[in-house]
Structure 1
């Protein structure tokens, strides 16, 4: 009876999740190109092509850089902001509300707004830089500065949500634990390092896993801000998959990149699960 009751949900999940994954793996083994009207079995040729695709190598390196730096900034800013929001002060509820405004914005809106903010001539960021140090940068024209702009926008957009989740973990710590540490003469730094961090470490690891997976699949921000440019400097794997699928109509090659992206996500999830199992709290 139990299986009969859950069968409709299982069937829906199989059709909407498992079937597309299986077909993606199948297509990755085909030379499936709608422009050339080909659909032939080529084995691992698509994956071999990836080894010699230098534009894809650039995309892979930036995907790694984007995910790593973004996650580090999410952790640092998220924990710091979570600690600030956990302090008792007047206007705390109002501050918690406005902190979530960037996260509540649609990613496309945030991306388009960021192109204006980083504009060389009338952007808010350059205006601030000019007032402080007297310089203006062509943020979205030079590869290095475009990458910085994309990463900063991503952190501005998602770090507030990360901090709210950290705040929920901070509020689960019993106040008596801090009182005992204060009576024993522990400094604020030792209290933070030996009480706060161990209690929220599991939460940080879990959030790191999920936010890393979300960073790997980031598409809308790149689409709205840079279209992968200048050149291929800010292109991520998800954007390359979109380009190969809907612009080049090369479904076989796009599927092979999707398989590689899925493998990266599985590796991150397994590493995170291993770390979680070893944590004491």
Structure 2
């Protein structure tokens, strides 16, 4: 009778509260993700879809109409010798820089991991290059490598090697870009590898010492296997970033001389913004994305970088 008169059972409010709390707990993670999803749609997915769309158009910001041309941009792209030259230059640059940065970064990480004092000071000094903007680094090395008053030529003459036209010589321009990139981004590789070295426990080293392993055997058969996944992650991150190099080339060589430093990112700028061929530039970006994603997918599949180890 009390219920018929509008009086609710005692446990009704607590039950409703618990149901609302349960619904909130279930939807909570999705509510937290909403701002990130919105930002992803605005700044990643929509620009990519727009890029894909204009790659099939003869798109120009000053044109009244933007006609669809189908795969013409892609056909022209694969017939362009500048595109194939850019692929070759990009491949040489990426392989050279990432390899050198890994070797030097690993050596520095091992040395810093062995230091007993002054480690923080040396880390701070070594990390200075990555705190600088690539445009600043490019301009600095442009002055340093100047064939008339550059400091590198001063030391080169001092040691009897003569002057070098670093940036105007087709045989040395790409080497100059590689040296600049290695100087700036080796500390990035070093800090990742050093963090990995710090996470290795002492037990494997103690076991190797008991077995009479030499320093080189310990490094090759203990340190490298323990560090393998960190190494793969560091290589992947630097490979992705190396493909996008633009700032340094713009400040130092502007793609020259005779296109020896013209990478994929550079010809995107050259075609898209200099000659306002946005559709053609978009097609280059799509091909570049496919190449990078395909390469990284193969590497991730081969090395199982993010494989979760089963619980024991």
Q: Pick the TM interval, shorter chain.
A: over 0.9
**Partner in structure 2 of residue 139 of structure 1:** 166
Does residue 1:45 correspond to 2:100, yes or no? no
Partners of 1:102 and 1:164 lie apart in 2 by 12
Alpha-carbon shift at residue 63 of structure 1 (Å): 0.6
Q: Could you give the per-residue CA deviations for residues 72-106 of structure 1, whole angstroms, max 9, x where no partner exists? A: 10111111111111112432221111000111111
Partners of 1:234 and 1:242 lie apart in 2 by 13
**Partner in structure 1 of residue 231 of structure 2:** 204
Partners of 1:223 and 1:140 lie apart in 2 by 12
Partners of 2:228 and 2:109 lie apart in 1 by 13
Q: Secondary structure at the match of 1:174?
A: coil
TM-score, normalised to structure 2, is 0.85
Partners of 1:170 and 1:278 lie apart in 2 by 17
Partners of 1:46 and 1:24 lie apart in 2 by 13
**Partner in structure 2 of residue 23 of structure 1:** 50
Alpha-carbon shift at residue 16 of structure 1 (Å): 1.4
Confirm or deny: 8 A CA contact 1:206 1:272 kept in the other structure: no
Q: Secondary structure at the match of 2:59?
A: strand
Superposition RMSD in Å: 1.8
Confirm or deny: 8 A CA contact 2:139 2:251 kept in the other structure: yes
Partners of 2:125 and 2:184 lie apart in 1 by 13
Q: Secondary structure at the match of 1:41?
A: coil
Q: Secondary structure at the match of 1:30?
A: coil
Matches within 5 A, 1:1-281: 1-2=27-28, 3-34=30-61, 37-277=64-304
Assess, with a 3 A threshold, how the Cα gap between structure 1 residues 39 and 208 changes in structure 2: closer, same or farther: same
Of 264-273 and 87-96, the range deviating more from structure 2: 87-96
Of 211-220 and 263-272, the range deviating more from structure 2: 263-272
TM-score, normalised to structure 1, is 0.94
Alpha-carbon shift at residue 278 of structure 1 (Å): 7.5
Of 124-133 and 215-224, the range deviating more from structure 2: 124-133
Of 228-237 and 2-11, the range deviating more from structure 2: 2-11
The structure that is helix-richer by fraction is 1
Paired residues in the alignment total 281
Q: Which has the higher contact order (CA 8 A, sep 6+)?
A: 1
Confirm or deny: 8 A CA contact 2:233 2:305 kept in the other structure: no
- Structure 1: which 5+ runs fail to align? none
Q: Secondary structure at the match of 1:32?
A: coil
Q: Secondary structure at the match of 1:31?
A: coil
Partners of 1:41 and 1:114 lie apart in 2 by 43
Q: Which has the larger radius of gyration?
A: 2
Confirm or deny: 8 A CA contact 2:232 2:305 kept in the other structure: no
Of 226-235 and 181-190, the range deviating more from structure 2: 226-235
Assess, with a 3 A threshold, how the Cα gap between structure 1 residues 37 and 228 changes in structure 2: closer, same or farther: farther
Q: Secondary structure at the match of 2:255?
A: coil
Partners of 2:50 and 2:112 lie apart in 1 by 46
Of 198-207 and 9-18, the range deviating more from structure 2: 9-18
Assess, with a 3 A threshold, how the Cα gap between structure 1 residues 5 and 39 changes in structure 2: closer, same or farther: same
